[in-house]
Amino acid sequence: MSDAALIRMSGITKTYGSGNVAFQALRGIDLAIEAGDFVAIMGPSGSGKSTVMNILGCLDTPTSGSYEFEGIRVEQLTRNGRALLRRNYLGFVFQGFNLLARTTALENVELPLIYRGQPTAHRHAAARAALRQVGLEDWEHHTPGELSGGQQQRVAIARAIVTRPHVLLADEPTGNLDTRSSQDIMDLIQTLNHELGITVLMVTHEPDMAEYARRVIRFVDGRVESDRRNDGEGV
């Protein structure tokens, strides 16, 4: 791992609550991730996978430790600074999709571009291109309620990549999907990683899904238990 790591975490801890009910979900995480990598985070339920993803995605702040993203000291950023980091460099995919209800696929995908202040014409073109990329060009006027789970997750992926993020963070993206859709989604994510060079960080507890990654990090009790490269895919 070189100094040019995209992401560098050291000594990250996260404690929920305080006093008697305090619970330490992360107990000192050191992590470096290089640009273009495809990393799967695995581990038993409650081991802190989501917690670390949320901190990586600047959706949450650590209790202590330092986190550098492309050389930026994230813990020194303000709320707005973190929002701009999410806006400009990060794309998020959640287990529960988190699309806006009663809103068409196109409008959902456009949303990040609106916050980027892009003109309408460009916004539409980019959103359509992203939908095409996830194979939903014929579904742009459908609302989440009219789409299957797999399709909704593909809309969510389109929304995450429409801004050309440097990093795609996916927390159990296939957790709510059947095997068939899961494989489609994983193929899609892999394509994004291979062809667009987007760095992918993905939480999963299915070994099948972790097969797609080049590097697998195992969490146990808020610590990194193992960190290995998948055979044949290693750097």
Partner 1 sequence: MLWNTLLLALRSIRRNLMRSCLTILGIVIGVAAVITMVTLGNGATKSVADQISSMGSNLLMVLPGQRFGPGAVPGAPFRIADVDAVRHQITAARAVAPVVSKSATAVYQANNWATAVTGSSNEYFEAGNWEIASGRNFTEVEERSGKAVCVIGETVREKLFGRQNPVGSQIRIKQFSCEVIGLLRAKGQASMGQDQDDTVVMPLRTVQRRIAGNQDIGRMTISVKEGASIDTVKDQLSRLLRERRNIGDNEDDDFRVMDTRQIAEALTSTTKILTMLLGAVAAVSLLVGGIGIMNIMLVSVTERTREIGIRLAIGALEREVLLQFLIEAVVLSSLGGLVGIALATAASISLAGLMDIPYLFDLGINLLSFLFSAAIGVIFGYFPARRAAGLNPIDALRHE
Least distance between Mg ion and beta carbon 96 (Å) = 11
Least distance between partner 1 and beta carbon 54 (Å) = 5
Name residue, tokens 């202590």: 64
- Using rule CB under 5 A, residue 47 touches Mg ion: no
- Using rule CB under 6 A, residue 16 touches ligand ADP: yes
Nearer to partner 1, 87 or 194 (CB): 87
Distance CA 93, CA 62 (A): 20
Select from 44-52, 64-72, 105-113, 210-218 the region that touches ligand ADP (CB under 6 A): 44-52
Nearer to ligand ADP, 137 or 225 (CB): 225
Q: Do 67 and 167 touch, CB atoms closer than 8 A?
A: no
Residue 103: how many other CB atoms lie within 10 Å: 16
Q: Answer with the entry of Mg ion, partner 1, ligand ADP, none that 19 interacts with (C-beta below 5 to 8 A by kind).
A: none
Distance CA 192, CA 134 (A): 10
Distance CA 90, CA 224 (A): 23
State the maximum Cα–Cα separation within the chain, in Å, rounded to a whole number.
55
Between 149-161 and 120-133, two packed helices, what is the crossing angle to 10 degrees?
130
Query: What part of residues 167-206 is at the interface with ligand ADP (CB under 6 A)?
Result: none
Least distance between Mg ion and beta carbon 129 (Å) = 31
Residue 79: how many other CB atoms lie within 10 Å: 9
Nearer to Mg ion, 36 or 175 (CB): 175
Where are the alpha helices (H) located in the chain, listed in sequence order? 49-56, 79-89, 105-115, 120-133, 149-161, 179-196, 207-210
Least distance between Mg ion and beta carbon 56 (Å) = 13
Nearer to Mg ion, 50 or 152 (CB): 50
- Using rule CB under 5 A, residue 50 touches Mg ion: yes
The footprint of partner 1 (CB under 8 A) covers 54, 57, 59-61, 79-80, 83-84, 86-88, 90, 92, 94, 98-103, 107, 111-112, 114-117, 159, 163
Non-local CB neighbours of 187 within 8 Å, separated by 6+ positions: none
State the residues that interact with ligand ADP by CB under 6 A.
16-17, 23, 25, 43, 45-51
Binding site for Mg ion (CB under 5 A): 50
